[in-house]
Amino acid sequence: MKKGWNWLLLLGVVVLAIVPLLLVQDSEFGGADGVAEEAIKEISPNYEPWFQPLIEPPGGETESLLFAVQAALGAGVVGYAVGLYKGRLDKRKK
């Protein structure tokens, strides 16, 4: 039963991450990327970017959401690894 709950919780997290991407279309939230782009254009107006993004998010808040999801996944992986090794160490001590 525990594995079923884990999959259900994981599915809930994925749904909570994807639904705002689909529903919020014209969100605006200025971040460091936009400020850096403006500064570069001021310094060198003829500058051409090396590449374009593969997928352009619908707004700045979407980028913020994706960054937060990425940070949460990274923290989850690190927390899982720490817990796994702590459990193995405790098991060896017994």
b/e burial code for range 24-45 (CB count within 10 A of at least 16 → b): eeeeeeeeeeeeeeeeeeeeee
pLDDT greater than 60 at residue 23: yes
Q: What is the pTM of this model?
A: 0.45
Residues in the chain: 94
Q: Residue 74 has what pLDDT?
A: 93
How far apart CA 12 and CA 22 sit, in angstroms, is 16
Mean pLDDT of 35-45: 87
The owner of tokens 């525990």 is 2
